[in-house]
Amino acid sequence: MTNGNIQLLSETLAKAKAENRAALIAYLPAGFPTVDGGIAAIKAVFDGGADVVEVGLPHSDPVLDGPVIQTADDIALRGGVKIADVMRTVKEAHEATGKPVLVMTYWNPIDRYGVERFTEELAAAGGAGCILPDLPVQESALWREHADKHGLATVFVVAPSSKDARLATITAAGSGFVYAASLMGVTGTRESVGEQAADLVRRTRATSGLPVCVGLGVSNATQAKEVAAFADGVIVGSAFVQRILDADGDEAAGLAAVRELAGELAAGVRRVS
């Protein structure tokens, strides 16, 4: 049985903490702009300074994702992306860099594919775990059993609306880290990430020793620095996707743009106030 890389993920987050900084976690969908192009983009983001990458499993009805990521998902789905391509993306990105790679996916595709098969293949690909934004904790026992068996993290999403008792239930069931959604609503770039996120991180930390990483709305070095002041990790997705969309089919330009953005954000999470 192959073991996944939850240990590598934990060590990576602990190392960032030891360096007195937040970890930079980047998100890119598999199959965007193509499967090979997506793998190259992840390598470029790692090259630019990301510590961890989340690979999105494109979904036709993504409830959490804003218009930018939906556009990328549409491109990937029209290109015929399959779960096998997601696994190949994880495998090649991890093998090329030695860095932790997670999958972010809605529950429906895993349910259809089979939990045992999905966790087994993700571990075999060297994956570190899964972020599951729409899987209710109370319905997650089967998933967690197989994830634990294969050495994979189960990352749940908490929101500003989550009550303290609910936060405790979620963090007790999760592993790897906790994904704190900085605001109510969908992903995308925002003017400010603000107070709600800091309060959510504080409340989540009160329930758990897991690292708390903040996503939704961070798009530049200034915001990364703002979030890094109170979170263990800063998650950026739409801004990377937008750079590739802006390159308009010029792969080299897209790769250069995401590498550069990763560099700026990596500097942002390291600027200690």
What local confidence, expressed as pLDDT, does residue 216 receive?
78
What local confidence, expressed as pLDDT, does residue 191 receive?
52
What local confidence, expressed as pLDDT, does residue 65 receive?
74
> Which one is catalytic: 54, 120, 121, 232?
54
Judged by DSSP in three states, 260 sits in helix
CB 30 within 8 A of CB 72: no
**Distance of alpha carbon 74 from alpha carbon 33, whole angstroms:** 10
Active site residue 51: no
What local confidence, expressed as pLDDT, does residue 60 receive?
81
What local confidence, expressed as pLDDT, does residue 63 receive?
64
CB 13 within 8 A of CB 224: no
Angle between helices 35-48 and 83-97 (to 10 degrees): 30
CB 117 within 8 A of CB 87: no
Instruction: Indicate the helix (H) or strand (E) that contains 53.
Output: strand 52-56
What local confidence, expressed as pLDDT, does residue 2 receive?
76
Q: What is the pLDDT along the chain (273 residues), one digit of tens a residue?
A: 679 999 999 999 999 999 999 999 999 999 999 999 999 999 999 999 999 999 999 988 766 678 899 999 999 999 999 999 999 999 999 999 999 999 999 999 999 999 999 999 999 999 999 999 999 999 999 999 999 999 999 999 999 989 999 999 999 999 999 999 976 554 555 555 577 889 999 999 999 999 999 997 888 999 899 999 999 999 999 999 999 999 999 999 999 999 999 999 999 999 765
pTM: 0.94
What local confidence, expressed as pLDDT, does residue 189 receive?
53
Laid out side by side, the sheet with 178-181 consists of 153-155, 129-131, 101-104, 52-56, 23-29, 233-236, 212-215, 178-181, 157-158
> Which one is catalytic: 65, 85, 121, 226?
65
Active site residue 65: yes
**Distance of alpha carbon 148 from alpha carbon 158, whole angstroms:** 21
CB 141 within 8 A of CB 129: no
Strand partners, 212: 178
Contact partners, residue 136, CB within 8 Å, separation at least 6: none
